Structure 1
Amino acid sequence: MDHDRLTGRDAVSGTSSPPRDPGETVAGPTVRGPERESETPDLHHHVALLYATQDQQFAAVVPLIRDGLERGERCLYICDDNPREDVERAMRAAGIDVDAAVEAGDLSFHSKEGTFLRNGAFEPEEVIAFADEMTRTATEEGSYDAIRIAGEMTWALDGEHSVDRLIEYEETLNGVFPELDCVGICQYNVDRFSPEIINQIVRSHPNLVYDGTVGRDFYYIPSEYVFSPN
């Protein structure tokens, strides 16, 4: 996959191409959005994280989880492409005290059956209800400013789920997350998903993480244009 085309990087100069919205990009692995009046970052983000190897994946997602924990967010990690043990090992190697974070309720690990396939099948409405429930519980009943959900999406490749519904779900989230104090990080293995699907994934996420670059996705198409009858 052409990294320069995905990130908007100038292939000749090696620099990122303008323009970007004020406050939208982040330095390093931190996801930030436009600043609110209180000068706190807007965490209403929907992020696609693309990777080809486990090393690439963990190098990108683990700092995002660590950043969420440091910001006082409740972080949820949904495992599928990797066993939980591998994810925990990568987090510990990055300096995250996994045991303490889990014991405090700041960090939790989940399966596809408890999240994406809650009733044995992929029902987008159920997944969105799960995110809404977890966010409201954390921010209204708990002491968290927001939640951060990082999900491995390879469960969608088992042949039992409609790819069209998956893409529609991803596009729908762009209208859901602005209403929640939630960062959603959807992790896609570019070697397992077809180029056609990855192309649609890129177009359905406002923010993109790929090959060490975090920023606005210049290929994103807002849902109002996707679902418009015209």
Structure 2
Amino acid sequence: MRAERRFDQEMLEEFLLRRSVGAAVATPDTSVVDAVQQAAQRGSHKHVCLYFRNPSEQWEAFRSYFLGHYRANLPTTYLYHASTREHLMECVRNEGIDPQDAIDRGLLRLVSAQESYLRQGAFSADFMISFMRLILVRKRADGFHKHLITGEMDWFFTDIVGREEIHAYERRLNKLLDEAPEVTIVCQYDVTRFDGEGVLQACGTHPLIHLDEQVRQGFFR
């Protein structure tokens, strides 16, 4: 009656797994980072939609990306919203890494949504693409052509003006990565908060999907 659609979460997850034919799969012998790299070698941008259901699953899914870059002496920029700076520092500390040392060495930068996605008091895809490009330029100037950028996408639920541009922004990130194919961008989506339509739209804007410890081909072409 209201032109709405409802989807069962388990059916959506099964759909993602079954429809991702010819995907790069992370197995016990292939880490998610290796799977993303293998997909990149086949021509995919390293733009990953990471789905999670709770905070512990969120870090468990993301940590491989962070540790892979940290151990290679490559930086990570983390745009956070639902998480707190203190929580993220503790997660890093639990990996046996001094988070302040990582920050001081330029291997970790924590940026709140208020300083990024919500900085203008409204969400703008144009502004965020410029913001992300500035990160790329600055890291390049520091000598890093490879690095990791990740963002928690739950800022969408602040009802901020312009939030409907979220998927246009995600599509444009793929174009931005034409300029920096060695950069990895991981967008973190809480599937307990985004509705079925939002989950499927995210699938359509990312070349790669990370779900349940597996990296598979997304629907962006």
TM-score range (shorter-chain normalised) is: 0.7 to 0.9
Contact 2:47 2:174 in 1 (8 A): yes
Equivalent position of 1:113 in the other structure: 114
Matches within 5 A, 1:170-209: 170-180=170-180, 181-209=182-210
Post-superposition Cα deviations, 1:24-49, rounded to whole Å, max 9, x if no partner, equal: 5552231314339xxxxx89411111
Distance 1:177 1:214, change over 3 A: same
Higher share of residues assigned helix? 2
Following superposition, the deviation at residue 58 of structure 1 comes to 0.6
Following superposition, the deviation at residue 208 of structure 1 comes to 0.9
Equivalent position of 1:226 in the other structure: none
CA distance in 2, matches of 1:34, 1:205: 13
Counterpart pick for 1:29 among 27, 32, 41: 32
SS of the aligned residue for 2:155 comes to helix
CA distance in 2, matches of 1:34, 1:153: 23
Gaps of 5+ in 2: 1-8
Q: Tell me whether 1:5 sits opposite 2:6 in the alignment.
A: no
**Aligned length in residues:** 204
Gaps of 5+ in 1: 10-16, 37-41, 223-230
Following superposition, the deviation at residue 163 of structure 1 comes to 4.4
Contact 2:122 2:162 in 1 (8 A): no
Equivalent position of 1:39 in the other structure: none
Higher relative contact order (CA 8 A, sep 6+): 2
* TM-score, with length taken from structure 2: 0.83
Post-superposition Cα deviations, 1:159-210, rounded to whole Å, max 9, x if no partner, equal: 1234431111111212211212421111111111111111111121111111
Distance 1:35 1:193, change over 3 A: closer
Identity over aligned residues, as a percent? Answer: 25
SS of the aligned residue for 2:91 comes to helix
Name the aligned partner's letter for residue 16 of structure 2. L
Runs of 4+ that moved beyond 4 A: none
